[in-house]
Amino acid sequence: MKRLRVLVTAGPTREPIDPVRFITNHSTGSMGYAIARCAHRLGHQVTLISGPASLAEPAGVKTIRIETAQEMYAEVKKHFLAHDSLVMAAAVSDFRPRQYSAKKLKTNSRTAFIQLKKNPDILQWAGKQKTKKIIVGFCMETENMFARALEKMCLKQADIIIANKISKFAMPFGPGRTDILLIGPDSLVQQFRKISKDKVARILLDKIADLWYKKHSCRCKQR
Ligand code: C5P
């Protein structure tokens, strides 16, 4: 098997409001770290770009720590070219406060407004430059999961999308088992129920390797 160079992002990002407060989400990094560990075990060369997470750095994996979406974007841009695949398992904050306040915001008014600004879409940027690289995105939805996943796949030019549904019965955050839809090229869909994140990682990495071979066999044109 070819030793691929796999770039993985994991965890949440933190978007600072003032020196005390920030915007973030429930991501723990479990999925991205499982992918990084599994890729290393399979003999691939792995770089992990991680938002704040309290997980042990995977042995043998070059781990780069970041806080904000903009920092993650800068690191992905720096490392993208030197990798064969990008797996965007991070829950990147779509917005950040428009202005950072160097002083702690006062709490003496009854309401407060924080204006938000869109963060760069890292996956979409990568999709535009990918040539023969294999790009993987994740998607978490409360409704219309399949339609939204397909839409994202197309918009962001991802080769594979893993979709998780979130509801009061299904919480995909953390180390537990999860229900996923894996959508591959030609919208081929596989459904997995109550599957561990280690298994998702293995299935995904096998798909990435398959796809890499397909794209690099001499008769295969660039997508
Ligand atoms: O936020 P959204 O649901 O569109 O995210 C889907 C995918 O896009 C995920 O793989 C996520 O890591 C990636 N993403 C990104 N940059 C953003 C937002 C999301 O790369 N600003």
pLDDT digit string, tens, across residues 74-112: 999 999 999 999 999 999 999 999 999 999 998 887 888
Is 92 close to ligand 1, i.e. is its CB under 6 Å away? yes
Is 139 close to ligand 1, i.e. is its CB under 6 Å away? yes
Encoding tokens for residue 135? 């790009």
Which residue, 1, 7, 221, 11, is CA-closest to 126? 7
pLDDT digit string, tens, across residues 133-184: 999 999 998 899 999 999 999 999 999 999 998 877 777 888 888 999 999 9
Which of 122, 135, 161, 204 gets mutated to test ligand 1 (max ligand atoms within 8 A of its CB)?
Answer: 122
Residues annotated as catalytic (active site), given as ranges: 25
DSSP code at position 59: T
Is the full-model pTM beyond 0.85?
A: yes
pLDDT digit string, tens, across residues 25-69: 999 999 999 999 999 999 999 999 999 999 999 999 999 999 999
H-helix segments, 145-190 = 145-155
Q: State residue 155's pLDDT score.
A: 96
Q: Which atom of ligand 1 is nearest to the CA of 69?
A: 21
Contacts with 67 (C-beta within 8 Å, 6 or more apart), sequence order: 13, 14, 16, 51, 52
Cα of 109 from ligand 1 centre, angstroms:
34
